[in-house]
Amino acid sequence: MNQHPETAAGVPAEDRLIATSPAVAAMCDKLDLNLIGIPKTAFTLPERYADLPVIGPPMGPDMELVAKLHPSYLLSPLSLQNDLLPRYIAIGKPSIFVDLNSVDGLYDSLMYLGNKFDRRAQAQQLVEQYHQFMNTYQQSIAGKPRPRVLLLMGVPGSYIVATPHSYVGSLVALAGGENVYSDSDELFLNANTEDMLARDPDIILRTSHALPDEVMAMFAQEFSTNDIWKHFRAVKEQRVYDLAYDRFGMSATFAYPQALFDLRAIFYEHAHGTSGNQAKVLDAQPRGTNAQADGTASPANGVDISPHTDRTLKGGN
């Protein structure tokens, strides 16, 4: 199955590329690709793209502005293909949709773009660094018991369950966790709390799609006022954890090493959790490693994790 469909064949002699999401812009920067347009986002984009035209938010780019820039390709997340592809076709602009639903998808997409835009050497180097990092990381958790995990993705006022097919779900799997909703084929699903309780997770993880302060405050309120949560074993044992928005979002990014360090601290180092009635974001700092949040360096063998710190969100007060 081609996970990177295009609406035109071949590559122009001089490629004019627009990245429509911050995660895609970061990929382009890693591959040393020039862009002619960038998305509107609260995330910090690579400095090389700072003065480029802003074409609108990832889910709703301004098609009139996009057309005026005359791109040779629009580069977008595969998760938005159903929404964006008809709009790209309507203005006659070729597109490539990259798989950002997992770390493996991120690196498969890097290789695809590297091959297509004459950046194979850069892509291959990044892939090799990823494999080196993961080999060392997997050695550090080998033989440890796999916790059963309930993963909640929140938006202000509501939340859904993230399955192993979502990006955050793929991180849990890479860290050795077993998602209690591994029987679903969806990325996210609506589930009632009675069903969640019946699946008896060892650990509850909470993250946000956007507006993290508001979402974490919402989660704290939900766990404080909805009586059913006090019956969860993970709540009784204070194994509820809030995850950092910049590491556990909707799309795969090069912050995945720090995300995996956070999960290792939670799953195997018994980082301090809560009963869910307060908003605290875990921040586990690796010790004895040169791994960076951009994923371009690898930890030394046998690296340990230093004691974690909790960053209390303003919205949780």
Q: What is the pLDDT of residues 161-175, one digit of tens each?
A: 999 999 999 999 999
Residues 175 and 301 in one domain: yes
Cβ distance 66 to 18 under 8 Å? yes
Higher per-residue pLDDT: 207 or 286? 207
Cβ distance 232 to 198 under 8 Å? no
pLDDT of 294 higher than 80 = no
Number of domains in the chain: 2
Residues 96 and 183 in one domain: no
CATH number of the domain that residue 65 is part of: 3.40.50.1980
User: Which range marks the domain in which residue 117 is found?
Assistant: 17-127
pTM for the model: 0.83
H or E stretch at 198: helix 193-198
Q: Whole-angstrom Cα distance, residue 298 to residue 292? A: 8
Residues 121 and 160 in one domain: no
Cβ distance 11 to 116 under 8 Å? yes
| Position 42 confidence tier, pLDDT thresholds 50, 70, 90 | confident
User: In the beta sheet, which residues pair with residue 37?
Assistant: 18
Out of 65, 92, 127, pick the residue that ends a domain: 127
Cβ distance 98 to 76 under 8 Å? yes
State the sign of the Cα–Cα–Cα–Cα dihedral 40, 44, 49, 52: positive
pLDDT of 155 higher than 60 = yes
Tell me if 198 is assigned to some domain: yes
pLDDT in tens, 80-139: 999 999 999 999 999 999 999 999 999 999 999 999 999 999 999 999 999 999 999 999
Out of 72, 103, 127, pick the residue that ends a domain: 127
Q: Whole-angstrom Cα distance, residue 130 to residue 128? A: 5
Residues 254 and 155 in one domain: yes
